[in-house]
Each structure stands twice: as structure tokens, then as C-alpha cells.
Amino acid sequence: MSTETSSVSGSVEHNAVAPLVEVEHLTTTFKVRDAAGGSAGRLTAVDDISFAVRAGETLGLVGESGSGKSTTGRSILQLDRPASGSVRFDGVELTGLGHRELVEMRRRMQMVFQDPFTSLNPRMTIGSIVGDSLLAHGMSSKSERADRVGDLLAMVGLNPAWHVRYPHELSGGQRQRVGIARAIAVQPDFIVADEPVSALDVSVQAQTINLFESLQDELGLAYLFIAHDLAVVRHLSDRVAVMYLGKIVEIADNDDLYGSPAHPYTHSLMSAVPIPDPTIERNRERIVLTGDVPSPLNPPSGCRFRTRCWKADDRCAAEAPPLVAVSIGHHVACHYPEA
């Protein structure tokens, strides 16, 4: 999409186009309290991460619960304010912007939330949930809004006549479609989809993922698509980033990540993904991680994954591995990456 608009000279290469979203050295911390309500210090939820999302692209973001995925998405949208680092959207630095300046930028960046039961106001009709974002972004005519809401409901595969219904009258999958209609209503360029199918039945997950894909084709959207397992993002993503305890440990094109995962943590996540072929499934090695994810309040020294890694040695405790290229576009943060 921006490829066209920026190709004024007609000769701009795709990879010469600046990314839509550029995240550099992003760090987001939270104040935490102990049981008595006193300060227990600061927790680093996202620790010095960098990546980019191009216009029209899907970057999958995976990792266990607590790894900092939601905070990453929320920090891009400035819903959580970063402690340091940079977030540029279409060339505009967002971290220093005030509330009012963010309103216009937010039209272009929307969010779809994990839980379609709590993310919709139960007292509002579907029509007003979707229409309110249009009103907030300047569509003051009621009849124009009603028309547009009808179009949007149809676009997400819901009956336009349902604009009078309330969220509790809909199934989980239908509610998530309302959340998607609300997000695309204001014609954004970028959507953070935060585990949008995790709360849905398996049978509904695939349909919802297909909807995200067809809307992307139709509208040229870019997604940061968050999931806790690799199976969900495989089909949808152009590239995938893997997070562990606030760090990106691996990022690569889809084929490279699934075909030759380099970080032991990615390997362990991959071994949890079922393979449809029963013979391969029966014979393959399964990696089961031992121990819990350490607390981000007190992360391990050096490599954060070392306390659960079968390859870890003294070097891993002493030195944090930087994220380095193992091939073009494939970066991994490990002293002993898989071949």
C-alpha cells in the first residue's frame, strides 16, 4: 500500500520503503507492589526490543504467558507508555506525543483484544459499539454512520440487521467479529491483534483467522498478530518473532522460522505443535521444558532462557547473547544456536 504511495519516482524497490512501524530499543517497565501495598520495585515487561512491521505485512509474535507480548502491542499504541526507546509509525515518533496528538495516530492503529466477552460493553448494542469509533473520529451524521455500520457488519460476516443486538446475544466467534468490525471501522493501516482467537473454540479459530486474512487482502492492513503458540500464527504470518521474558529471542521469515528454528526456546515451542502425519508425530522428539518461567522482577543473569535450557553453560550465565543474524533476515539471540 505504502509501496505505491511512496513510489512517486516509479522505481522504489519494495525493501527500500520505510517500514510502517519501527520499534527500536523499546523498554517498558511497571511499578509493582508487594502484598502489603508497599513498593516492590520495577518489573521490566519488555526489555530493549527492536523490530519493524511493513505495510500490509503480518508479523506473528509468540511466547508463553507473561513474556511481554501484550505489553509490546500496547507500548506501540502508547496504551502503555514506554520507559525508553523509540516507536515510529509511518515516520512519526510516537513516544513523545501528547494525548491529543495521539488521537489522530490512533485512528490508523487499532487493537483487537483477546477476550470477546470483556472487550465489548454489555450495555451497548452492536451498532453503537461499531458506530462509536466512527463518531469519535468525526463521522457526525447518524444515517451515514448507520450505513457504514451495516457495511462493516457485512464485511466481517455478520448480518447487518444485528446492529440492534447486544453482545450477550452473540456467540464468542460472533463477538470477536464485532471487535474486528470496530477495529476496521476507522480504516486503520495497522492492527495489533492480541491473542484474538485464544478464547475461541478450535472450530471457530480457523474461520476467524481466515477473516483476518481476507480483510488484510481487501484493506491492505498490517498486523502484529499475537499468539501463545506457533501453530496459530503459522498460516497467517509473513514473519514471526519469538519472545521470552521481555526479550525477542528469534525473528525470521515464516519459512525460515518453521523450517530451521535456531533458538532452543523456539525448538521447544515447535515441538509442542502437533504434526498432522501420525508416523512423524509418533516418532519425533518432543522437548518438554522443565521449571517455570522465572519472574521478570528478578530475571536470570546472562541469557534469560538458560535456567530452562539443555545447552546452557557458564557463558550463558555470564553474557546475555545479542540478537544476531544467522542468515538474511533471520536473527537469533543464543550463544549456541541450532545448526
Distances (CA, A) of 236 to 194, 212, 231: 14, 9, 10
Q: Is 97 in the site for ligand ADP (CB under 6 A)?
A: no
65 is a site residue for ligand ADP (CB under 6 A)? yes
User: In the 8-state DSSP scheme, what is residue 118?
Assistant: T
Confirm or reject binding of residue 66 to ligand ADP (CB under 6 A). yes
CA distance 289 to 86: 33
CB of 176 to ligand ADP, least distance (A): 18
Binding flag, residue 75, Mg ion (CB under 5 A): no
Q: 158 near 178, Cβ under 8 Å?
A: yes
CA dihedral 305, 308, 313, 315 (to 10 degrees): 10
**Can you read off the three cell numbers belonging to residue 44?**
521490566
Dist. CA 308–CA 291, nearest whole Å: 6
Answer whether 130's CB lies under 8 Å from 153's CB.
yes
* 214 φ, ψ (degrees, to nearest 5): -70, -35
Contact segment (CB under 6 A) with ligand ADP among 58-66, 142-150, 253-261, 262-270 equals 58-66
Stretch of 12-20, 64-72, 154-162, 302-310 lying at the interface with ligand ADP (CB under 6 A): 64-72
| 305: three-class secondary structure by DSSP | coil
Q: Minimum CB separation from ligand ADP for residue 149, in Å?
A: 31
b/e per residue 253-291 (b: at least 16 CB within 10 A): bbebbbeebbbbbbbbbbbeeeeeeeeeeeeeeeeebee
Q: Which secondary-structure segment (H or E) carries 142?
A: helix 142-155
Residue 109 interaction partner, one of Mg ion, ligand ADP, none, beta carbon < 5-8 Å per kind: none
> What string of H, E and C letters represents the secondary structure of 54-80?
CCCCEEEEECCCCCCHHHHHHHHCCCC
Number of residues in contact with ligand ADP under rule CB under 6 A: 13
Among 2, 28, 70, 266, binds Mg ion (CB under 5 A): 70
Length of the chain: 339
Residues 4-43 that bind ligand ADP (CB under 6 A): 30, 32, 43
Q: Interface with ligand ADP includes 114 (CB under 6 A)?
A: no
Binding-site partner at residue 306 among Mg ion, ligand ADP, none, CB < 5 to 8 Å by type? none
Q: Which stretch binds Mg ion (CB under 5 A): 63-71, 78-86, 178-186, 275-283?
A: 63-71
Interacting residues with ligand ADP between 288 and 327 (CB under 6 A):
296
By a kind-dependent CB cut-off of 5 to 8 A, residue 146 interacts, out of ligand ADP, Mg ion, none, with none
Residues touching Mg ion, count (CB under 5 A): 1
- Please say which residue, 71 or 119, places its beta carbon nearer to ligand ADP: 71
CB of 30 to ligand ADP, least distance (A): 3
Pick one of Mg ion, ligand ADP, none as the site partner of residue 237 (Cβ within 5 to 8 A by kind).
none
Interface contacts to Mg ion, rule CB under 5 A: 70
Interface contacts to ligand ADP, rule CB under 6 A: 30, 32, 43, 45, 63, 65-71, 296
